[in-house]
Structure formats: C-alpha cells, structure tokens
C-alpha cells in the first residue's frame, strides 16, 4: 500500500479531469443522479488507473464519522415479506452483530430487493461499509459501478471478484460430502429438493451428482436416480406440491434438501401425512441452523460455520479500517453432521 504522502487525492483526480472536487467526491459516494454517465465513467476510469480505490477504502473506514456498517438483506419473494424470521438470516445477523461491534463499528440492518435502495441508503447514512446477504453477482457489479463504498458479499454465489470481498462456503463440496454419506448409508434412490437449479443450489446438486458418478463404477447404480425436485417459492403452493408429488417422494429412500428450512418443512408435512422419518424415508438438509437439533428426529445436515464467516468479515473490516491488505475471495469448508434423520439401509448380496 502507498505511504500517506503518495496517496492519490480527490483534488488530484479533479485537476486531471478538469472537474470540481465535489463532482469527483459525489461519484465516489454514488451521488451520481445529477452527473452525466460520461462524466461518471471518466471519473471511475481514472480512479481505477490511479489505484485510488484500495487507498480510499482504508480512508473511509478510518475517518468516516458514522462508523456504520449496514447489513443489507435481499427481501426475496420466497421469504414472503418475513426474511428477518428466516433461521439462516437470523443466525447470520446474530454472529455479525457481535463481530461488527468488536471491530468498533455500529450495525444497521436494511432489507430490500432493489439495488437502487442500497445506493440511496448508503449515501443517506454515509455508510462506512456494507455486508450483503442473498444478492446475485450482477447486483454486486451494479453496486460497484455506482459507488465505491467497500462491501463484503456474505451469502452470495460469485464467479468473478471485482473490487469487493466475498466470503462463501464450498457448496459443491457440501453436496458431494452429503452424497458420499448417503451412498455409504446404502441410499441409491436420492431426491434433491430445491427452489431453483442455479448458483448455490446448483453447485450443491452438482456435488451430489459427482458423488454418485464416482459410485456408479462399483455399484452399477443408474445416474438418473439422483433426481431434482423443484419446489415452489410460496409455502402454500409447496404444501399442495408435496401432496401432488407424494408418490414420487415415496419412490425414493432419501430426500436431500438444499436448506434445513425446507428439510424441516417437508419432514413435518410427511409426518402429518402418516409417514415416519427415517423409518419410511430419510431426510437430510443443508446449513445446520439451530432448529436442526430441536426437531425430532434431529436433522442430519451439512454444517456451514456462521460464526467463522462472521469472524472473517470482522477481519476484512479491520483491514479496510487500518488500510492493510486482505484476501478478496474466501472459501470456507463445510462438514456433514450425522444425527437421526437418515437411516442405514441394509444391502443384500
């Protein structure tokens, strides 16, 4: 990192472009409503060329009087306006609150599904930084184009990291590890349930398929036995969907859900329908939310360590504040947690 005296200043950028310092400052902070796209592009290009952004991130977090880190949560339609009741989101916020406070900042929470809201909100409150939960890669790209406030992607699927930090888990490994476990338990008729076949859930499904592919050579198992069950986003529609697809579910020995929330939901539905878990069908989940140990039977799942992710976020915030380097792309490991919802199937020779 450049010494303080060598840092590129706003006035340097302004003089080189023949603009006012106020215009350059507004571009940096995303206040571009009254600035032409051409001017915004010129300023951003020179900021990149002069390597202003890395130094600016440290300055913002060191001198910003607000000391506010905003945790922005995607209020996706699947949450039905109750995203702050979601177990994974609540758990993440709980760990983040402690981590952010330990770093000397204050946490603010904003839920929205509109990227423009994030830009306006960050500018309104003069945010020191952002933590984004549940958005997609094109959203992060739009944010980086419109503002230069540092942010951490906390729960997204990103293939290309560009001037922000991404803390993710190994989704493929999670699906693979659970697939290996289910196969070792004798399950060769596996149904994977998710509300989409994209990004994170797709990676989990690919991991499961890889485990099956490796297993085929020894068992002669049909690769199509790991079927994908696409769930509706709305809960009321899912209840009807489970009833409509009950025969399909019964033809499988285990239902591996892309989240613990869905695993617990379908477990309760099947129990209400007279089926016993794991005697009649096994259930597995993904995330290891606290409810996984409360339900009966206790849920076998893939654990992602939310506390570890919060700790990594804290270290990145500290690095930004202190102007030190940090790792932009962090991939955290996952593990299978064996409990009571998956039974062993006796194989016959």
In a domain, 255, yes or no: yes
In a domain, 318, yes or no: no
In a domain, 234, yes or no: yes
Asked if residue 57 has pLDDT above 70, the reply is: no
Q: How confident is the model at residue 59 (pLDDT cuts 50, 70, 90)?
A: very low
CA distance 235 to 209: 27
* Residue 22's CATH number: 1.10.260
Question: What would the pLDDT profile of 276-321 be if each residue is shown by its tens digit?
Answer: 999 999 999 999 999 999 999 999 999 999 989 999 988 888 887 7
- Mean pLDDT estimate for the chain: 85
Return the pLDDT at 257.
Answer: 97
Higher pLDDT: 61 or 292? It is 292
Return the pLDDT at 230.
Answer: 96
CA distance 162 to 167: 13
Determine contact, residues 317/69, Cβ cutoff 8 Å.
Answer: yes
Question: What would the pLDDT profile of 115-154 be if each residue is shown by its tens digit?
Answer: 888 888 887 777 888 899 988 878 888 887 777 778 888 8
Higher pLDDT: 254 or 161? It is 254
Over residues 23-39, the mean pLDDT reads 83
Asked if residue 161 has pLDDT above 70, the reply is: no
Distance from chain centroid for Cα 154: 5
* Residue 265's CATH number: 3.40.50.2300
In a domain, 105, yes or no: no
Question: What would the pLDDT profile of 100-124 be if each residue is shown by its tens digit?
Answer: 888 888 899 999 988 888 888 887 7
In a domain, 223, yes or no: yes
End position of a domain, from candidates 11, 33, 50:
50
Q: Alpha-carbon dihedral of residues 105, 107, 113, 118, nearest 10 degrees?
A: -40
CA distance 302 to 253: 18
| 242, two tokens | 């489970």
Q: Which domain holds residue 262?
A: 171-304
Q: What are phi and psi of 346, to 5 degrees?
A: -70, 125
Return the pLDDT at 162.
Answer: 62
DSSP string, 142-211: HHHHH----EEEEE---SS--SSEEEEE-HHHHHHHHHHHHHHTT--SEEEEES-SSHHHHHHHHHHHHH
Task: Sort 217 into a burial class: Cβ within 10 Å, 0-12 / 13-18 / 19+.
Answer: exposed
CA distance 132 to 118: 10
Question: What would the pLDDT profile of 169-201 be if each residue is shown by its tens digit?
Answer: 999 999 999 999 999 999 989 999 999 998 889
Return the pLDDT at 321.
Answer: 72
In a domain, 13, yes or no: yes
In a domain, 199, yes or no: yes
Return the pLDDT at 66.
Answer: 66
In a domain, 81, yes or no: no
At CA 176, angle to CA 174 and CA 181, rounded to 5?
95
Number of domains in the chain: 2
Helix, strand or coil, per DSSP, at residue 29: coil
CA distance 188 to 185: 9
Task: Sort 160 into a burial class: Cβ within 10 Å, 0-12 / 13-18 / 19+.
Answer: exposed
Return the pLDDT at 276.
Answer: 95
Q: How confident is the model at residue 224 (pLDDT cuts 50, 70, 90)?
A: very low
Which has the minimum average pLDDT: 73-77, 163-167, 196-200, 280-284?
Answer: 163-167
Higher pLDDT: 63 or 317? It is 317
CA distance 46 to 8: 11
């Amino acid at each position: 990192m450049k010494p303080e005296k060598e840092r590129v200043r706003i006035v340097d950028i302004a003089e080189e472009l023949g603009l006012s310092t106020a215009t350059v400052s507004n571009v940096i902070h995303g206040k571009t409503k009254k600035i032409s796209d051409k001017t915004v592009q010129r300023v951003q290009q020179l900021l990149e060329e002069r390597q202003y952004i890395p130094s600016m991130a440290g300055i913002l977090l060191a001198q910003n009087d607000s000391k506010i880190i905003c945790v922005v949560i995607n209020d996706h339609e699947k949450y039905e306006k109750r995203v702050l009741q979601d177990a994974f989101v609540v758990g993440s916020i709980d760990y983040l609150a402690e981590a952010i406070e330990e770093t000397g900042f204050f946490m603010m929470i904003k839920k929205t599904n509109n990227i423009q809201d994030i830009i306006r909100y960050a500018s309104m409150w003069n945010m020191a930084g952002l933590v984004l939960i549940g958005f997609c890669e094109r959203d992060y790209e739009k944010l980086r184009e419109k503002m230069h406030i540092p942010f951490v992607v906390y729960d997204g699927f990103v293939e290309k990291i560009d001037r922000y930090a991404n803390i993710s888990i190994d989704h493929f490994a999670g699906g693979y590890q659970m697939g290996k476990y289910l196969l070792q338990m004798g399950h060769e008729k596996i149904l994977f349930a998710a509300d989409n076949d994209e990004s994170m859930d797709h990676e989990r499904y690919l991991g499961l398929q890889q485990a099956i592919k490796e297993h085929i050579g020894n068992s002669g198992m049909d690769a199509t036995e790991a079927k994908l069950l696409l769930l509706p986003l709305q809960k009321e529609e899912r209840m009807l969907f489970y009833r409509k697809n009950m025969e399909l579910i019964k033809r499988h020995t285990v239902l591996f859900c892309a989240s613990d929330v869905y695993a617990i939901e379908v477990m309760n539905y099947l129990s209400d329908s007279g089926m016993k878990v794991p005697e009649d069908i096994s259930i597995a989940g993904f995330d290891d939310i606290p409810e996984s140990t409360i339900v009966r039977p206790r849920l076998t799942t893939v654990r992602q360590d939310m506390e570890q992710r919060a700790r990594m976020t804290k270290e990145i915030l500290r690095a930004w504040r202190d102007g030190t380097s940090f790792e932009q792309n962090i991939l955290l490991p996952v593990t299978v947690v064996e409990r009571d919802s998956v039974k062993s199937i006796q194989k016959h020779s």
